[in-house]
Amino acid sequence: MEDLKYQIDLLTALNERLLASEKMYRHIAECSGTLFMYFDYKCTPTKVDLVGPWDDKVGEKIANHPYDESYMLNLLFDEDQDKFRIHMLELEREGLESDTVEVRSRNKRYWLSCFANVTYDEDHNPVEKIISIKDITKIKMNSEELEYLAFYDSLTGVYNRNYFVRKFRDMCEKADSEKVSVEIMFVDIDDFKKINDSIGLLFGDELVQEFGQYLKGFNGEDVNVGRFGSDVFVIAIYNPCGQRSSDVIYRKIQERLRHPFTLTNKTEMMFTVSVGVAEYPDAGRTALEVIKNAEIVLYKAKERGKNGIQYFELDILNKFIKNISVEKQLKEAIETEGFQLYYQPQYYAASGNLRGAEALIRWPDPEGNGFITSPGEFIPIAEKNGAIIPIGNFVTKEALRTLSDWRNKYHIPMILSINISAVALEKENFVDNISHAINLYGINPETIELEITESVFINNFEDVIDKIKTLRGLGMRVSLDDFGTGYSSLSYLKQLPIDTIKIDRSFIETAVKDDSSSIIYESVIQMSKKLGFETVAEGVETKEQFNYLREKNIDIIQGYLLGKPISKVEFEKLLIRQVP
Ligand code: C2E
Ligand code: CA
Ligand code: CA
């Protein structure tokens, strides 16, 4: 009896412990966020147990239903259960392997990480099976999104910069081993800033998006499309035939751009693109070098007036490299005021008297080896990077200082011409600055002539006209330089508030050679006279030209024949000879 009681107590205690440990395991399973399906094949019918965080209703249905694997899976995953089932069977066969399964249910996609473990008896009949299923949809989605962000441009869906470069590198490597080439095209929307200003950033983005999606259509086995900047796309073409496939793509793009892009606000937008193309390995030793060079020729395409394609040429690259070095040296020269002014005399054609001089900037080499480069080369660079402003300030200051110096020393009436860049003239404080300098050096404004070119009128015609009127109101003279090289139309000349016209030197060369050029030259002089302007002939190099000009009644002559540009010291010698 004692014995039996002991046995019962022991069993009860054991049972309690079992219940407690079962509770604990259930609890752990539920907390694990994993569903466990336990199949007990020893029972008939097979007993199925579900443990874990699962829809209660599903659990109930399963519990109250005789075991049927496919029914169960049906409940859990409405569609696609066959796929799931096959997958689970495969897992079983392979033993312990786990895998990720993509399941579609009610149009929703989710991913399950599944793990199956089966035990068998000696005759290889299954005894028990546990399948653990974990819903990893969220993790998967996040990593897919991260992957997307890592490879793609979120606005257009083409490759982003990093990934494109990686792809391009791979293409170049492959091209190396197959001894072929890879082309890269930079495709840049022309005047995108203006487009943005007119339709707003949001629609600007939409336009880029539309265009990017169009370009994405070129993606393929041998073509990769990427986006590098706001409106800059790149297309890499693996080129096994060695043909210029970029040409074909360019023509297709041109074709597309003939029709507008329609934005969501129903605006129809048209635009053009500029394209730069470089080829690996011709245009560079590394993939990155080729990319860089394609970008450089893109800028060349822009410079050449946009809406065009530019292929890589060594000359373009060399010029670019030279410009960069000039830019760097310019910066130093500005800091050290490393420039000089030369002066080229101008004479009245009729009397032969000195009219004055044109101040021309020179950039001497600090080591004394002549000049670093000519103004024709460095002035345009300085105009592009803004260095023209401090350079212009130096020129004005130096010219006025010299003029006041000469006036005090030689008392000769003379007009000093100063070249003014369009970039400087556009600055708001230009008029104030120059009139301040004139006052500072006590200069009579009537002895100053500002030389401007027609380019100043391109952007802000009215504004520039107002400024010129103010300058002339202060007494200064204004002359139109390089006449005949720009957009000059004779009819617009009469609207310009100027004093002098300088006919570009290219005209005098032909005027003495052929009759039709001569007629043009002569009519320009006539018209200029009628409009009340003084006329200067530039670049007069020969006696023949000189006689011709005198015969045609030109007012003023400037050129190598009568005097090259010379230093301040040299010009003083010339002035001394003028003193009566
Ligand atoms: P530009 O204003 O048309 O200046 C006349 C250019 O023709 C000068 O070249 C002068 O040296 C050159 N020249 C004069 N007579 C003859 C001739 O008989 N034959 C030939 N072949 N050339 C002649 P430079 O000094 O090299 O200047 C080139 C251009 O650089 C200038 O053309 C002007 O646009 C710009 N520049 C020069 N100095 C300045 C400056 O101080 N400020 C600005 N903004 N631009 C300047
Ligand atoms: Ca000039
Ligand atoms: Ca000129």
- Average pLDDT on 359-367 reads 96
Flag whether 15 is in a domain.
no
CATH of residue 248:
3.30.70.270
Let me know: does 529 contact 329? Beta carbons within 8 Å. Answer: no
pTM: 0.71
Q: How far apart are CA 44 and CA 392, in angstroms?
A: 101
Look at residue 405 and give its three-state secondary structure.
Answer: helix
CATH of residue 568:
3.20.20.450
Q: How far apart are CA 565 and CA 571, in angstroms?
A: 9
Let me know: does 492 contact 529? Beta carbons within 8 Å. Answer: no
What stretch of H or E contains 465? helix 461-473
Q: Which amino acid is at 486?
A: G
For 136-272, strand residue ranges (E) read: 181-189, 223-229, 232-239, 261-262, 268-269
Looking at every residue in the chain, the average pLDDT score rounds to 88
pLDDT value of residue 75: 52
CATH of residue 133:
3.30.450.20
Q: Residue 558 C-alpha to ligand 3 middle, in angstroms? A: 10
pLDDT value of residue 96: 47
Give me the number of domains the chain comprises.
Answer: 3
- Name the phi and psi angles at 562, rounded to 5: -95, -15
Q: Which residues contact 131 (CB under 8 A, 6 or more apart)?
A: 36, 37, 39, 88, 91, 114, 115, 116, 117
Same domain assignment for residues 216 and 91: no
Better pLDDT: 531 or 88:
531
**Cβ-based neighbour number of residue 157 at 10 Å:** 16
Q: How far apart are CA 420 and CA 476, in angstroms?
A: 13
Q: How far apart are CA 574 and CA 67, in angstroms?
A: 117
Q: Residue 504 C-alpha to ligand 2 middle, in angstroms? A: 9
Let me know: does 540 contact 560? Beta carbons within 8 Å. Answer: yes
Q: Which atom of ligand 1 is nearest to the CA of 360?
A: 38
Pocket lined around ligand 1, Cβ cut-off 6 Å: 344, 360-361, 374-376, 379, 392, 395, 419, 421, 481-482, 505, 539-541, 559-560, 565
- Average pLDDT on 344-349 reads 98
Better pLDDT: 554 or 19:
554
pLDDT tens readout for residues 280-327: 999 999 999 999 999 999 999 999 999 999 999 999 999 999 999 999
Q: Which atom of ligand 1 is nearest to the CA of 375?
A: 30
Flag whether 260 is in a domain.
yes
Q: Residue 258 C-alpha to ligand 3 middle, in angstroms? A: 40
Give the per-residue SS3 of 340-404.
EEEEEEEEECCCCCEEEEEEEEECECCCCCCECCCHHHHHHHHHHHCCHHHHHHHHHHHHHHHHH
Same domain assignment for residues 241 and 284: yes
Q: Which atom of ligand 1 is nearest to the CA of 399?
A: 41
pLDDT at 487 over 70: no
Residue range(s) defining the domain that contains residue 558: 337-578
Given 141, 166, 181, which residue is the final one in a domain? 141
pLDDT tens readout for residues 503-518: 999 999 999 999 999 9
pLDDT at 94 over 60: no
Q: How far apart are CA 243 and CA 239, in angstroms?
A: 7
Closest Cα to atom 21 of ligand 1: 539
Q: Which ligand is nearest to the CA of 344?
A: 1
Q: 543 exposed, middle or buried (CB, 10 Å; 0-12, 13-18, 19+)? A: exposed
Reference 417, options 482, 329, 338, 510; nearest CA is 482
- Average pLDDT on 112-135 reads 80
Q: Which atom of ligand 1 is nearest to the CA of 502?
A: 3
Flag whether 9 is in a domain.
no
pLDDT at 111 over 90: no
- Average pLDDT on 557-576 reads 97
Same domain assignment for residues 190 and 222: yes
For 384-514, strand residue ranges (E) read: 415-419, 448-452, 477-483, 500-503
Same domain assignment for residues 448 and 359: yes
Flag whether 495 is in a domain.
yes
pLDDT tens readout for residues 37-77: 787 888 877 777 777 665 555 555 555 555 555 555 555 55
Q: Residue 452 C-alpha to ligand 2 middle, in angstroms? A: 8
